[in-house]
A and B are shown apart, each in its own frame.
Chain A
């Protein structure tokens, strides 16, 4: 039991998500193993990104716990919450790069605000250049976000997410809007980064090739029943899960009883 607990990076217990009186999801519970890639799956509008916001501390849940170690994030004090958040690296769906800063300055930002104060600006700049090289953006380091493509923005945001060597890497729809080749390259990069940094990675996605390529474990949220309907690695769910909606989703089919026009 203790081994299992020490192996857990983050745990969600009895979480209930709602906007006012409108229920989004309930009975959500899962534990994410350290160093694994955990996928939050489900159709559009089922609450995947909202779940990520609850885990990131951006929006409180209606009920339930998000445990980092023994600490329930939503019951912790402000300083403890800040301390937990400094262990996060986040890639937002829209990249969320600071539009007035160059890519180098964007990557330096978390280091400036949270990093080692002993580091000089030059050292931070060197580290930012190193991270931009890692995501193959060395040539674009002095460009502004509006001067680069969507795929490059995602990679730059990933470099910024890695700036503080995070324990937790949260990726919200990393391959959304990317062409298949860029998407595949990003998946390879995520796997490489996980292996290199040993970070625990949580990914929200409904891109089938991505979730099969990178997912070690996952949860499937259902918009209709408003609760999780499957748990496990995406490949295992494809092979063994009998839930018709999960099967339809993972096989890219229209579920029985629904027409293609619905």
Chain B
């Protein structure tokens, strides 16, 4: 038995540096591939949208309607609960701080602007990412594993037209509607806490809310929710289509879709905030 050859420390360090460099290169290539895949799917989605506008897209209308139902009406309960609580929390936090300055009546302004401009859109998108985005990823990843996507392709049907387009359209349309609903419920949550804990009348609370809320806040919130809906649906479909064909693939696709959806929503929200600041909206 010969003993293993001991490498000199300098050679060992050199080898480690090479390995670290190789890992960095692999990581960079993998990121580049991901960006390329996102761009490819985005391009295919644009083409599918044109096909839809020309009446040539092939997809199942019944399935699309089911997606609209699942991502819209079926999400009302959870969207209502979460936004009601967020509105209430905003009012609690605001009430405690504003009471110190004797400015309790401005709780209505705080809740109104924060809900309509930020929280209703962001919280609704986060809920949809965990609920609908995850469902899209799981469904498409399962189809990938069962060779159902391959079956579609061999029928000459684009999976982007058949699966991605209806889902992205459904969530892009339904999210702004859910946002409007979330605004109403969030304001209601704030009102319940403000009127219940502070010495504010109903009329004063709603008058302050109406004064504070300008149309631009709604427009900004609605634009965000539109973008968030498209983003969450895209992330779900993207990770579903990229899924492998093993048992763990569905779980991995779902996790990636939810994490990317939520991070994406926060990043896009930050971009909107910067734009709104720059444009003085």
Contacts and interface: CB of A to CB of B under 8 A. Distances in A.
Say whether chain A's binding surface is mostly helix, strand, loop, or mixed: mixed
B1 interface: no
Contact of B154 (A57, A97, A99): A57
Interface residues of B, number: 15
Contact of A114 (B60, B142, B157): B157
B146 interface: yes
Interface string B143-163: 100111011011111000010
Contacts, number: 50
A237 B150 CA distance: 32
Interface in A82-105: 82-83, 85-86, 88, 90, 92-99
Interface of A: 56-58, 82-83, 85-86, 88, 90, 92-99, 109-110, 112-114, 170
A62 to B, nearest CB: 18
B155 A86 contact: yes
Contacts of B151: 90, 92, 96, 98
A187 B142 CA distance: 30
A97 B143 CA distance: 9
Interface of B: 58, 60, 142-143, 146-148, 150-151, 153-157, 162
Contact of A96 (B60, B150, B157): B150
B244 to A, nearest CB: 13
A113 B155 contact: yes
A85 B154 contact: yes
A96 B152 CA distance: 9
Contact of B156 (A58, A82, A92, A112): A82
B154 to A, nearest CB: 5
A239 B154 CA distance: 36
Contact of B146 (A86, A99, A113): A99
Residue among B58, B147, B156 having the largest count of chain A Cβ atoms under 10 Å = B156
Nearest to B245: A94
A86 B156 contact: yes
A79 to B, nearest CB: 10
A99 B148 contact: yes
A90 B157 contact: no
Contacts of A109: 155
